[in-house]
Structure 1
Amino acid sequence: MWSISATVFRREGRIMATLVTGGTGFVGANIVRELARAGHEVVSYDVAPADELVRQFVAEWEGGITFVQGDIRDREGVAGLANSHVIDKVIHAATYTVNQRDLEVERGRDVIGINVEGLANVLELARIAGVRRFVYVSSGAAYGLAAGTDQTYSEDMPAAPDSMYGITKYAGELITRRYGELYGFEQASVRLSTPYGPMERVTGHRAVMSALYQWTGQVARGEPLSVQAESFAPDDGRDYTYAVDTARGLQAILDAPELPHDLYNLTTGVWITYREILDAISDLVPRSDPRPVSAADTAAARARASVPSRGPLSAHRLRQDLGWQPEFDLRAGLADYLQWRRESEFTA
């Protein structure tokens, strides 16, 4: 028998939980915090432990969070979660993010192991646990780059991934859909645009940090903004989305009474140029005007080179189906991010 009190579900008297894989990572930690804030009992499963930075980030809601350390490639370890917790819903955010060809060559097998084999283990857990809804965190990389920067990417466009990461994310969408069909649980795949914000940091599965991470780190440390002119075309950019909005969008999909579709883009849908980003940082932080540098190998330049340009994702379907709207525009997101970096003393 099912009963509900506020947002806490129970099955046979036991409190039901939402599993978040990758829960101590960049996007995952934001998901865990937003779900706990919304009243979910959350089980975070990640190969990395919940370190001091993670626990500080979720401190206000940590009473509703259980951190479990484990590898999603460990089939028995993942399946064992069904014995220790009553899993009702899942957001599968664990992933190996690789955007550079040399890393594809070096770590391709690991990308497949985590992004495909690990997903299969989590889907098996969902089947065993009898979950009601499974949300798979995919990526705009599933579209590939064939349409160029002038095209807005909607969910009706064919997928054409052209990287190992994009290929595995698209494969994950198809596998998730088929599992839901075969075993009778609701599922949705969510293609993220480019997130930025709190908890981005170097981890075992994220080695190249975004340009926004590099630039906000510079001003948080009191350094001048250093921009390699050769690597950053001022009018190039991405559809950057603040990580808090990303997490809240995923929560909206997880908790919606009904989902008219099983594939959504999650994005502001707004193309943001590097010129706009640097101008916004300069406005927010006096005396931080960008300083051109000519060094051939700056961290921000490597970040830029690792993310080929594509057009923005369309936000129309998610807004139409669920009424979701991002809360942070560029300036508000950067202000909140800079405040977090200062308050958490995370200036790496």
Structure 2
Amino acid sequence: MKLLVTGGAGFIGSHFIRYILNKYPDYQVVNMDALTYAGNLANLTSISDSERYTFVHADIRNQTRVDQVLFETSVDAVIHLAAESHVDRSIESPGKFVETNVLGTQNLLESARLHGVGTFVHISTDEVYGSLGGSGSFTEETPLAPNSPYAASKASSDLFVRSYYETYGMDTRITRCSNNYGPNQYPEKLIPLCISRAVQGLPVPLYGDGQNVRDWLHVYDHCSAIDAVLHHAKPGSVYNIGANNEWNNADLVKKILGILNVPTSQIVPVRDRLGHDRRYAIDASKLKQDLGWKPVYDFEDGLKETIEWFANQNTGKKVSHSRGH
């Protein structure tokens, strides 16, 4: 199989490309990335010389360029990860999120349709569902109720993907994942930001009262879920991906500082994010039952592995732990 991965130089995309090339020795991967601030080809150094890997510099907002890439590569499937994804940036510049996440996705869908791409897997987010109360979880039947410009742009792109299945009969599939963590993540996100600032002796910012809850999933487990959806899901399907691993931000930050032996006095409360969703939680039972997927990473081990990677990147500080799943 030959895959086109959009946004493959980013955090999740680079992990997914390495995952696929390692697992399937007869697969080829084309990485199409615009190399924005969050894209880094150094994430792919270990496979950059592989004959089964090709990098194409292209922006999904450019319909002509996207069409050219789809025509020239003749791929069997598209794994669409390219997106503007940081909520704070969407609050500051919502138009950029419409251009990339909505119009860019539609450009890609149209080119994939015209060039007969077999399968289109769209990687979305649990944020399209909005905010939960103190109990319950998002299922695939939960109504879309996005509360940030980022979430609204992803919900819009989800609906375009759905429309290409319903209108044109394209084999589209949508995944909605909880918060990812792991090595190589861009340091504007909570876990790498906390680690990098902590090891440098800088203040560690914490939004509001710190009681916002997120469900954390290791990026490897996200990749294995995408793999399962690509190979085994039905056209038109939607799958939630999560690990039943809820943490409020305050407890998570304190846990990270504890592993690093950094005092909690470095935590500095900051003004809360506008429209900050209170809680996300994913019910991934459909994915587990239909496709036999399950996460393999233990959060304690995965978090320590991630802390060690970022600590080494920032200061060379070592965090000893025994890795396990």
Which category describes the TM-score, using the shorter chain as reference length?
Answer: 0.7 to 0.9
Corresponding residue SS for 1:214: helix
In 2 relative to 1, CA 119–347 (structure 1 residues): closer, same or farther, beyond 3 Å? Answer: farther
Which stretch shows the higher mean deviation, 38-47 or 175-184? 175-184
**Kept in 1: contact 2:91–2:148 (CA 8 A):** no
**Kept in 1: contact 2:147–2:275 (CA 8 A):** no
**What is the CA-CA distance between 1:308 and the residue it aligns to?**
2.8
**Kept in 2: contact 1:266–1:315 (CA 8 A):** yes
Aligned to 1:337: 306
Aligned residue among 150, 155, 160 for 2:135: 150
Aligned to 1:109: 95
Aligned to 1:80: 68
In structure 2, the gaps of 5 or more residues are 317-325
Corresponding residue SS for 2:287: helix
**Kept in 2: contact 1:92–1:135 (CA 8 A):** yes
**Kept in 2: contact 1:149–1:312 (CA 8 A):** no
Deviation track 1:185-206 (CA, whole Å, cap 9, x = no partner) reads 321111111112222226xxxx
In 2 relative to 1, CA 270–261 (structure 1 residues): closer, same or farther, beyond 3 Å? Answer: farther
CA distance in 2, matches of 1:182, 1:229: 45
Q: How many residues align?
A: 312
Which amino acid in the other structure matches residue 196 of structure 1? Y
Corresponding residue SS for 1:66: strand
**Kept in 2: contact 1:37–1:61 (CA 8 A):** no
CA distance in 2, matches of 1:250, 1:241: 13
**Kept in 1: contact 2:172–2:235 (CA 8 A):** no
| Percent identity of equivalent pairs | 27
Which stretch shows the higher mean deviation, 224-233 or 136-145? 224-233
Deviation track 1:266-298 (CA, whole Å, cap 9, x = no partner) reads 11122123455345435644x33433444x65x
Aligned to 2:190: 211
Which amino acid in the other structure matches residue 155 of structure 1? E
Deviation track 1:1-27 (CA, whole Å, cap 9, x = no partner) reads xxxxxxxx4xxxxxxx20111111122
Aligned to 1:26: 11
CA distance in 1, matches of 2:93, 2:258: 40
Corresponding residue SS for 1:291: helix
Aligned residue among 151, 163, 167 for 2:148: 163
Aligned to 1:327: 296
**What is the CA-CA distance between 1:115 and the residue it aligns to?**
0.9
**Kept in 1: contact 2:239–2:286 (CA 8 A):** yes
CA distance in 2, matches of 1:187, 1:79: 18
Q: What pairs up with 1:4-153 in 2 under 5 angstroms?
A: 9=1, 17-39=2-24, 40-48=27-35, 51=40, 53-56=42-45, 58-59=46-47, 62-100=50-88, 103-104=89-90, 106-145=92-131, 147-153=132-138
CA distance in 2, matches of 1:216, 1:201: 12
**What is the CA-CA distance between 1:346 and the residue it aligns to?**
5.5
Corresponding residue SS for 1:324: coil
**What is the CA-CA distance between 1:144 and the residue it aligns to?**
1.2
- Does residue 181 of the first structure (1) align with residue 166 of the second (2)? yes
In 2 relative to 1, CA 51–99 (structure 1 residues): closer, same or farther, beyond 3 Å? Answer: closer
- Does residue 311 of the first structure (1) align with residue 280 of the second (2)? yes
Deviation track 1:94-153 (CA, whole Å, cap 9, x = no partner) reads 1112423xx4464222111111111111112211231221111111111112x4242311
In 2 relative to 1, CA 347–212 (structure 1 residues): closer, same or farther, beyond 3 Å? Answer: farther
Q: What pairs up with 1:220-231 in 2 under 5 angstroms?
A: 222-223=199-200, 226-227=203-204, 231=208
**What is the CA-CA distance between 1:229 and the residue it aligns to?**
6.8
CA distance in 2, matches of 1:186, 1:347: 46
In 2 relative to 1, CA 196–229 (structure 1 residues): closer, same or farther, beyond 3 Å? Answer: closer
Corresponding residue SS for 1:95: coil
**Kept in 1: contact 2:162–2:236 (CA 8 A):** no
**Kept in 1: contact 2:122–2:173 (CA 8 A):** yes
CA distance in 2, matches of 1:104, 1:267: 24
CA distance in 2, matches of 1:346, 1:227: 15
Aligned to 1:270: 245
CA distance in 1, matches of 2:164, 2:247: 36
Corresponding residue SS for 1:80: helix
In 2 relative to 1, CA 280–164 (structure 1 residues): closer, same or farther, beyond 3 Å? Answer: closer
Aligned to 2:322: none
Aligned to 1:200: 185
CA distance in 1, matches of 2:49, 2:298: 25
Aligned to 1:239: 215
In 2 relative to 1, CA 231–72 (structure 1 residues): closer, same or farther, beyond 3 Å? Answer: same
**Kept in 2: contact 1:236–1:309 (CA 8 A):** yes
CA distance in 1, matches of 2:252, 2:35: 31
In structure 1, the gaps of 5 or more residues are 1-8, 10-16, 203-208
CA distance in 2, matches of 1:201, 1:122: 24
CA distance in 2, matches of 1:30, 1:195: 11
Corresponding residue SS for 1:122: helix
TM-score scaled by structure 2? 0.84
CA distance in 1, matches of 2:143, 2:263: 41
